[in-house]
């Protein structure tokens, strides 16, 4: 089955700097890669996703890149703000119709004012 690795496990950046989180996956059949943000006391919430027919996607300060050949994808956050502090999870779809997601172990991002 699919296996997703995520690095780093913790990341501290100064406000205004950029943050990059990287994930690798094992199953070349995976075709959907969402990123979720989990704030304290809340459930994960989708922030951006990318499908395997696209190499890059941007939404304001957030971007995701996908390298299918290398089986890795990355989350890029520019101009970080204190409210970006949270745990971020990457995931890859698997299974029939891809309805199951396999999640990475998470990255705790701290943005220091």
Q: Which residues pair with 32 in a beta bridge?
A: 51
Q: Find the part of the chain contacting another protein (CB under 8 A) among 28-36, 54-62, 67-75, 78-86.
A: 28-36
Binding residue for another protein, selected from 19, 44, 50, 109, defined by CB under 8 A: 44
| DSSP structure string for 21-43 | EEEEES-TT--EEEEEEE-TTS-
Beta carbon nearer to another protein, 75 or 91:
91
CB of 35 to another protein, least distance (A): 11
Pick the piece of the chain touching another protein (CB under 8 A) from 33-41, 53-61, 69-77, 78-86: 33-41
When asked if residue 9 is in the footprint of another protein (CB under 8 A), the reply is yes
State which residue, 6 or 79, has the beta carbon closest to another protein. 6
Q: Give the C-alpha separation, 87 to 71, whole Å.
A: 22
Residue from 42, 60, 70, 83 binding another protein (CB under 8 A): 42
Beta strands in the chain (DSSP E): 4-7, 10-14, 19-25, 32-38, 45-51, 56-59, 62-67, 72-77, 86-94, 100-103, 107-112
């Amino acid at each position: 089955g699919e296996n997703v690795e995520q690095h780093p496990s913790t990341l501290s950046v100064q406000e205004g700097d950029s943050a990059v989180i990287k994930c690798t996956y094992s199953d070349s059949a995976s075709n959907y890669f969402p990123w979720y943000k989990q704030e304290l006391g809340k459930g994960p919430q989708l922030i951006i996703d990318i499908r395997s027919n696209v190499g890059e996607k941007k939404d304001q300060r957030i971007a995701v890149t996908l390298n299918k050949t290398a089986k890795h994808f990355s989350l890029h956050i520019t101009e970080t703000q204190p409210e970006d502090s949270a745990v971020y999870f990457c995931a890859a779809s698997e299974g029939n119709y891809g309805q199951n997601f396999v999640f990475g172990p998470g990255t705790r991002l701290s943005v220091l004012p």
